[in-house]
Amino acid sequence: MSSSAGSAETPTPRRRPRWWWITAAVVLAIGAPAGVAGILEHRAWAKTVAAYDAEVARVTDEAERSRASAEDGYASGLDALNDAIDAGRRAYGDSKGQVADDEVRKPLASALDDAGHVRDTEVGYPVTTRTVDRVTRSNPFRRETLPEVDIEFVKGAVPAPADLDAAAADVTEARDAVTQARRKWAFGRLRSATTEGADALDSLRPQVGKESLKTLDDAVTEAEAALAAGTDALDPDRAVTLRHTLLDSTESLWAGRLARILTERRAAARADGIDCRTAKCVALTFDDGPVTDTRRLLRVLDREHAPATFFMAGDNVARQPDIARAVVDGGHLVANHSWDHPQLTKLDDVGVRDELLRTQAAITEATGFMPFLLRPPYGAVDDRVRTLATRVGLDVVLWTVDTDDWRTRDAARTRMRVRTEVRPGSIVLMHDIHPSSIDAVPGIVDDLRAAGYVLVTADLLVQ
């Protein structure tokens, strides 16, 4: 048994494998889960890194877009503001002298000023920082940290697009007010120019070829349509242009008529042997009639075969149309001296036109002759009155010898005045409303003829 027991005491080679297994089992029991845990930890970390990278990329991308959108927003606001400023400046310039400065143009000027400041302010893009947090690997064997990342975000622009929009809106609002005021202004002016043009067409149609009237005719048609459409529909720029066309063509048609009349009458005078370029011509002119005594003057002039020029007041013509007619029948020239003798320079445009046109109508109705010369009462004339006269077909004629007959009321002194002051080409001012002036005429005619003068109507002497 002992031997068997002894032999049983040496099982060492068989016990070793048992410890190895145990060791292997232990190693396995510990190592396998550790290995698995290691793999899992590695994968989790890889995911964390990927998520971190993705977050950095996403935030970076968003930050870039925030800058781009801030820049775009500012740029488009700036474009709109520039457009508003350009349009506002044009409206401001165009409206000069056309609309009230204080109420209408000043607000636009100040809106433009403010808008200019906003535009010229250097743009800034304020930023904020967004942080991607740091991430630390928890694995004690593989310490690792992904750093914190700060990324700058653009928080809009300064000035903000809303500030640019507000400045542009202020300019546009002020500009609209100016435009509306210009419309009203242009409407009124177009209306009066249209009246002038239409009146000219009525007067000139019987005397002037259709072709010559075409520009004015078309302009009147367009202007009447524009006026019929009302103030709000009016394009003020077009209205300004159209008004110029109306007035310029009215003026040039009348000026053309005047030039033709003067040419024809001078040619006719030359055919009668009178050429004031070489002869000593003088024109006797009589203002303020016709009155009853004008008939006496006509008899004197007829006896002397002396032509004269009569600047008639329209209200006197309306009172004594027969005498006006007798003046024309006597071979004299009839001209316009306003309706009731005001100082034309003190009347507004409508008032001046009314004075001239009523007189034209009265004379034309009484005599069949449409005057083409105007002597403004008191010789009171300026560029405005001259232009208004031209646009109703009248050329302004003053005088070179003032007999002062209305003051002296003395035939002898009136005669003496002419004798001492007359020069070749003189236009002599007298008044047929004063009997003493009529009394002076025979002596004046004798003196002038004795001195070699030729008596003519005033149209042969106007420049």
> Which residues of this protein are in contact with Ni ion, per CB under 5 A?
287-288, 377
Given the complex with Ni ion, which of 287 and 355 has the nearer CB atom?
287
DSSP 3-state of 267: helix
Out of 170, 199, 287, 459, which one is annotated catalytic? Answer: 287
- Min CB(422)–Ni ion separation in Å: 21
- Min CB(378)–Ni ion separation in Å: 7
429 has which bridge partners?
285, 402
Given the complex with Ni ion, which of 92 and 286 has the nearer CB atom?
286
Nearest of 419, 421, 401 to residue 411 by alpha carbon: 419
Given the complex with Ni ion, which of 35 and 379 has the nearer CB atom?
379
- Min CB(332)–Ni ion separation in Å: 17
Given the complex with Ni ion, which of 290 and 377 has the nearer CB atom?
377
Given the complex with Ni ion, which of 48 and 343 has the nearer CB atom?
343
- Min CB(338)–Ni ion separation in Å: 8
Q: Using an 8 Å Cβ cutoff, are 164 and 118 in contact?
A: yes
Exposed (0-12), middle (13-18) or buried (19+): which is 156, by Cβ within 10 Å? middle
Distance from C-alpha of 138 to C-alpha of 33, rounded to nearest angstrom = 18
Given the complex with Ni ion, which of 288 and 432 has the nearer CB atom?
288
- Min CB(288)–Ni ion separation in Å: 4
Nearest of 258, 187, 250 to residue 218 by alpha carbon: 250
The residue at minimum Cβ distance from Ni ion is: 287
Out of 332, 337, 431, 434, which one is annotated catalytic? Answer: 431
Nearest of 304, 270, 286 to residue 405 by alpha carbon: 286
- Min CB(442)–Ni ion separation in Å: 23
Q: Using an 8 Å Cβ cutoff, are 284 and 235 in contact?
A: no
| Rg over CA atoms, the chain | 52
Q: Which two tokens stand for residue 371?
A: 């005057």
- Min CB(370)–Ni ion separation in Å: 20
Q: Which amino acid is at 272?
A: D
- Dihedral angle over CA of 188, 191, 193, 198, nearest 10: -170
Alpha carbon 439 to chain centroid, angstroms = 58
- Dihedral angle over CA of 444, 449, 453, 458, nearest 10: 50
Given the complex with Ni ion, which of 182 and 434 has the nearer CB atom?
434
Q: List phi, psi (to 5°) of 348.
A: -80, 175
- Cα angle value 297/317/438 (rounded, 5°): 15
Given the complex with Ni ion, which of 287 and 395 has the nearer CB atom?
287
DSSP 3-state of 89: helix
Nearest of 198, 207, 186 to residue 249 by alpha carbon: 198
Clarify whether 431 is annotated catalytic: yes
Nearest of 105, 463, 114, 141 to residue 277 by alpha carbon: 463
Clarify whether 332 is annotated catalytic: no
- Min CB(342)–Ni ion separation in Å: 11
Distance from C-alpha of 263 to C-alpha of 269, rounded to nearest angstrom = 10
Distance from C-alpha of 347 to C-alpha of 291, rounded to nearest angstrom = 26
Given the complex with Ni ion, which of 250 and 285 has the nearer CB atom?
285
Nearest of 436, 455, 413 to residue 297 by alpha carbon: 436
- Min CB(356)–Ni ion separation in Å: 14
DSSP 410: -
E-state strands within 95-202: 127-132, 135-136, 145-146, 149-154
Active centre residues (catalytic): 287, 431
